[in-house]
């Protein structure tokens, strides 16, 4: 299935790209569904990417995202102690055998979730952050909606089947969640661990993601398996400044899962590259009647975007920016547009936004400036 478009609905609102018909075919995959995204949210390849399927422990991608967001907001620290409840300790499947009332630091809980896929720790963290797992699941589903996920319904924090219920999602949705998780680089300190331990070195952890040892540049993220879901993975990798996410859903075997994820990543690295427009083209825009004289335009979604390798050498960038702005200007406000062309063909358009807020001057500011001018004239 050829790449038809690269659209970042979650991160690069307004980004437009033309059909990439010149790209080679991916080749046949073993999985039921797959998606390849750049970490900035650009879609590079999909195969049945909207088919609702069970993700098994890849569910923990969302659990880890909410945990990292809570860490960033200061709701927890790495040293915060998290207590295992009776319920959390009753989880089956992969676990670290928490005892009711046992406490581990948030740091060790995250390590157990990311490396050992610990179902008990996933629930313990969920309860700590939201009071109950049910309340945490509400947050999971709300966050999925915010990220543009259209085929996702979480029922718990770990991906196990419930009583007559199943977590359902899609390769595209997992890719969107994974890209959002990668906005928190700290997560790679956990997902990139091959072997480690918790409880003062008395309990060993071995990463369920064996691609860490077999695929050059792999940084994470999470594997999953239950019999109904098959073998699933969201795999992140980085080479030469290009960060990718490959999602494989319902592969028949572990070997198929690794082969498909490797094929997706190989396809991405072979055909795409990160391109950063020359910095001197993004010059500050003057601001009238503002507390600052100018504002710096930035590309929405980051400083680079992903393009086909064969087109990089002939890329041309065109900036559309006003001669001046009038305060107030809000951080994130769209103030222009960057258009990238290749031989006259428009490849993409990216909104340019204000990097910072520029407040309007007040009457008091003007009066003080006037007084300062009088003083300087004496």
Phi/psi class of residue 31: alpha, beta or left (left: φ > 0; alpha: ψ in -120 to 50)?
beta
Using DSSP, state whether 71 is helix, strand or coil: helix
Strands (E), 184-271: 195-198, 203-206, 218-226, 230-239, 242-251
Question: Are 231 and 251 a contacting pair, CB within 8 Å?
Answer: yes
Neighbours of 14 (CB within 10 A): 14
* Annotation marks residue 90 as catalytic: no
* Annotation marks residue 117 as catalytic: yes
Q: Residue 366: CB partners within 8 Å, gap ≥ 6? A: none
Q: Which of 4, 13, 33, 57 is catalytic?
A: 57
Question: Are 30 and 20 a contacting pair, CB within 8 Å?
Answer: no
Q: How far apart are CA 257 and CA 155, in angstroms?
A: 24
Q: Which of 33, 111, 117, 311 is catalytic?
A: 117
Polymer length of the chain = 378
Q: How far apart are CA 231 and CA 256, in angstroms?
A: 8
- DSSP H/E element including 334: strand 334-342
Give the closest residue to 59 by CA, choosing from 129, 114, 135.
114
Write down the residue that tokens 């906005």 correspond to: 183
Chain centroid to Cα 130, Å, comes to 22
- Residues forming the active site: 57, 60, 117
């Amino acid at each position: 299935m050829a790449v038809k478009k690269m659209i970042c609905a979650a991160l690069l609102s307004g980004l437009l790209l033309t059909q990439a018909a010149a790209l080679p075919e991916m080749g046949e995959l073993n999985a039921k569904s797959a998606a390849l995204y750049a970490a900035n949210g650009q879609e590079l390849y999909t195969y049945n990417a909207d088919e609702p399927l069970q993700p098994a422990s890849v569910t923990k991608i969302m659990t880890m995202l909410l945990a990292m967001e809570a860490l960033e907001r200061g709701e927890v620290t790495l040293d915060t102690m998290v207590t295992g409840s009776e319920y959390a300790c009753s989880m089956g499947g992969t676990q670290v055998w928490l005892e009711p009332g046992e406490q581990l630091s948030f740091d060790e809980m995250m390590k157990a979730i990311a490396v050992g896929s610990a179902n008990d720790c996933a629930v313990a963290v969920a309860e700590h952050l939201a009071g109950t797992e049910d309340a945490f699941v509400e947050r999971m589903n709300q966050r999925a909606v915010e990220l543009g996920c259209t085929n996702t319904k979480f029922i718990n924090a770990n991906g196990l089947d419930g009583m007559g219920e199943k977590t359902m999602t899609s390769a595209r949705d997992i890719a969107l969640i994974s890209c959002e998780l990668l906005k928190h680089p700290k997560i790679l300190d956990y997902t990139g661990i091959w072997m480690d331990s918790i409880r003062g070195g008395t309990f060993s952890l071995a990463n369920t993601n064996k691609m860490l040892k077999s695929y050059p540049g792999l940084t994470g993220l999470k594997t999953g398996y239950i019999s109904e879901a098959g073998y699933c993975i969201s795999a992140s990798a980085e080479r030469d400044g290009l960060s990718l996410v490959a999602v494989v859903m319902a592969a028949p075997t572990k070997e198929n899962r690794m082969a498909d994820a490797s094929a997706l990543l190989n396809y991405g690295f072979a055909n795409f590259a990160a391109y950063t427009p020359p910095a001197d083209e993004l010059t500050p825009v003057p601001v009238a009647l503002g507390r600052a004289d100018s504002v710096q335009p930035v590309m929405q979604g980051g400083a680079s975007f992903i393009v086909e390798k064969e087109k990089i050498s002939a890329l041309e960038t065109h900036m559309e920016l006003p001669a001046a702005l009038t305060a107030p200007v809000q951080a994130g406000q769209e103030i222009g547009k960057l258009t990238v062309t290749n031989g006259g063909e428009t490849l993409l358009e990216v909104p340019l936004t204000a990097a910072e807020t520029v407040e309007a001057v007040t009457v008091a500011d003007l009066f003080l400036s006037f007084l300062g001018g009088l003083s300087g004239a004496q």
